[in-house]
Structure 1
Amino acid sequence: MRRDEFAEMKAFLEVARERSFTRAAAKLGVTRSALSHTIRALEERLGIRLLARTTRDVAPTTAGERLVERITHHFEGIASEINAIKELRDRPSGHVRIVCPDDAIDLVFRPRLPAFLGENPDITVELIVDNGFTNIVERQFDAGLRLGEAVARDMIAVRVGPDVTYSVVGAPAYFARFPFPSNPQELTGHDCINLRLPTSGTLYAWEFEQDGREFSVRVEGPLTLSNIASAIDAALDGIGLAYVPKDLVRQHVENSSLRNVLEDWCPTFQGYHLYYPSRRLASPAFRALVDFYRWRQYR
């Protein structure tokens, strides 16, 4: 295969995968017009249309789908061999992309990230905050991060953090206006800060347990947010009660900026896990990160 043919095939696979000339061009580091010219040259040389284009979408034709099926494993094999060669280096290198919820930045990554990057100067880490259930295969992430209960069974899961206990907190200014709730059912009479779930679009029902019985309470209040960090800020401002990881507000509770309530009812969830598909070859950089953050590091 000539060099230009290899480049054309690689460009075609990227467009077919991304279903977008703009995103594919960004991934390949070329302009959209240059990428369009490359695909057009490939189609003209083969004498057949490979991509169906509309003003809103790009999708492989029947011939394009066949070509994707026939050549993808060859390019994956090339990538695997390149990764294998890189393993011969003294230090792992590369770029690691992980999607995670906003609270995991402080709960999991921030405490140990300086040490990891210091020990691995040839590795760069990209953390994308998304509180929804992102498809890591479609979005080409190396891994995602979720609480253990939420990891799909077809994924490899590596625990990277301790159990996460949630708590209901409010500021002194809030409790100057409202009494302390004595049980979760009384939250229906309080101003609560809701969290909207990006995947389903619904409001998160606060979860509780007592004597082995699990239940949830749907709360109401003047403010709805999409991330936990903002909910903590709103609680500090006295807007309402927030349902957040206990470790994220520990300092605020210790300095009396916030107060815990309903502690006997608040549940503990299995800690955060990195998850990734078993069929993908993990890069040396990603394996180094997993080994560093593995649960044994916390024990």
Structure 2
Amino acid sequence: MKQNFTVRQGALDGVEAFLSVAQHRSFRRAAAELGVTPSAISQAVRVLEARVGAALFMRTTRSVGLTEAGERFLSRAKPAFEELVAAGEVARGLGQRPAGLLRLSVPRAVVPILLEPLIASFCQAYPEVEVEIAASEELIDLAAEGFDAGIRMGQFVAADMVAVPLTPPFRFIIVGSPVYLARRGRPECLDDLRQHACLRWRRSNGALALWSFDDNGRAIEIAVSGPFIANDFPTMLGAAVEGMGLAQVPEPIAREWVSAGKLVRVLEPFEPVTPGVFLYYPDRRQIMPKLRAFIDHVKSRSEARRKIRVQADDERTRSRKKD
């Protein structure tokens, strides 16, 4: 049989009516202030007195005064109620405009190449928002850990999350330093990796990540071996620059090193494409203005970058036609 449940009366029921009567020393003026009838105020105070177990007011036909119990109740209830009202105003403010602390969980690799310029422009646009970046490779529960959103590569974002792309898809590339390749030779096929020192990445769950490849449209994974293990891509990239071995890393974080000649791409025909990097959060209905502002900022920056890429591609196309 289905039971009926009601919310238990709380300790704050009738307190606002009590404080208004205590301030005005009048049930009628308190009722006018709160926009209710004098009888409603009287009933609320009676219920409060019954719950407290003591009379709070002395009533006569000409005046209303506080009892000793009422005086003591007033001295404690008034500042507490004012704090509650102030708390409500603070919460209401955060719910109406971009303000407060925005906490983001991100992998260390994306901070310098993606977040630093994005965060700088966002903080200039929204000075009332404080941004906290927790750089970690660990995949965490955003709600349980108190984060507003996270940033991860698309393949690591749970299906029940709302995801906003921060980058276009990119390749996972194999790189090695010129010194290492001169010493060990350049791999030409995947089987050659057996003779190479491969730098490995340990996932947040403790497992060593396999290296992923695209073999003519067929996705394959290979367990590699080598002298060094890291739990983030920047550390592994640094080891590759120092000539410790080959590393498989996201192309955007290695681009600068490859352009400078400090690293060389190998096995390019086998590079897999990943979905890219995404901002993700639990539920559209729970978005605070600070997060909505950040999402809109991300989208506007992404659109601006897309237009720049399109213009650059058009210019290259026109240049080739002229040649």
- What TM-score, normalized by structure 1, do the two folds share? 0.68
Q: Residues 240 and 80 from structure 1, CA distance in 2 versus in 1: closer, same or farther, beyond 3 angstroms?
A: farther
Q: CA deviation at 1:79?
A: 8.7
State how far apart, in whole Å, the 2-side matches of 1:265 and 1:111 are: 32
Could you tell me which amino acid in structure 1 is paired with residue 240 of structure 2? A
State how far apart, in whole Å, the 1-side matches of 2:118 and 2:172 are: 22
1:218 aligns with 2:223: yes
Q: Which residue of 2 aligns with 1:298?
A: 305
Q: Which residue of 1 aligns with 2:257?
A: 252
Q: Residues 273 and 256 from structure 1, CA distance in 2 versus in 1: closer, same or farther, beyond 3 angstroms?
A: same
State how far apart, in whole Å, the 2-side matches of 1:81 and 1:203 are: 49
SS at match of 1:110: helix
Unaligned runs of 5+ in 1: 4-77
Which of the numbers 252, 260, 268 marks the counterpart of 1:263? 268
State how far apart, in whole Å, the 2-side matches of 1:183 and 1:239 are: 20
Q: CA deviation at 1:296?
A: 3.0
Q: Which residue of 2 aligns with 1:230?
A: 235
Q: CA deviation at 1:171?
A: 0.7
SS at match of 2:163: strand
Q: Deviations over 1:67-126 (max 9, x none)?
A: xxxxxxxxxxx999855544555xx21111111112221343123222111111211111
What is the count of residue pairs matched by the alignment?
A: 222
Equivalent runs, 1:1-299 vs 2, <5 Å: 83-86=91-94, 88-89=96-97, 92-199=98-205, 201-278=206-283, 281-294=286-299, 295-299=302-306
Q: CA deviation at 1:185?
A: 2.3
Q: Which moved more, 1:281-290 or 1:270-279?
A: 270-279
SS at match of 2:168: coil
Could you tell me which amino acid in structure 1 is paired with residue 104 of structure 2? I
Q: Which has the higher helix share?
A: 2
Unaligned runs of 5+ in 2: 1-9, 13-85, 307-323
Could you tell me which amino acid in structure 2 is paired with residue 104 of structure 1? V
Q: CA deviation at 1:149?
A: 2.6
SS at match of 2:146: coil
State how far apart, in whole Å, the 2-side matches of 1:111 and 1:166 are: 23
State how far apart, in whole Å, the 1-side matches of 2:295 and 2:182 are: 46
Q: Residues 119 and 252 from structure 1, CA distance in 2 versus in 1: closer, same or farther, beyond 3 angstroms?
A: same
- What TM-score, normalized by structure 2, do the two folds share? 0.64
State how far apart, in whole Å, the 1-side matches of 2:89 and 2:303 are: 31
State how far apart, in whole Å, the 2-side matches of 1:218 and 1:163 are: 24
Q: Retained in 2: the 8 A contact 1:117–1:123?
A: yes
State how far apart, in whole Å, the 2-side matches of 1:79 and 1:225 are: 45
Q: Retained in 1: the 8 A contact 2:162–2:284?
A: no
Q: Retained in 1: the 8 A contact 2:162–2:282?
A: yes
Q: CA deviation at 1:164?
A: 2.5
State how far apart, in whole Å, the 2-side matches of 1:112 and 1:275 are: 16
SS at match of 1:152: coil
Q: Retained in 1: the 8 A contact 2:169–2:274?
A: yes
State how far apart, in whole Å, the 2-side matches of 1:252 and 1:103 are: 14
Q: Residues 282 and 255 from structure 1, CA distance in 2 versus in 1: closer, same or farther, beyond 3 angstroms?
A: same
Could you tell me which amino acid in structure 1 is paired with residue 239 of structure 2? A
Q: Residues 203 and 86 from structure 1, CA distance in 2 versus in 1: closer, same or farther, beyond 3 angstroms?
A: closer
Greater Rg by CA? 2
Q: Deviations over 1:205-232 (max 9, x none)?
A: 0111032110011111111111111111
SS at match of 1:138: helix
Identity %: 32
SS at match of 1:96: strand
Q: Deviations over 1:1-36 (max 9, x none)?
A: 669xxxxxxxxxxxxxxxxxxxxxxxxxxxxxxxxx
State how far apart, in whole Å, the 1-side matches of 2:179 and 2:192 are: 19
Q: Deviations over 1:147-187 (max 9, x none)?
A: 22322121111112221211111111111210100012211
SS at match of 1:232: helix
SS at match of 2:286: coil
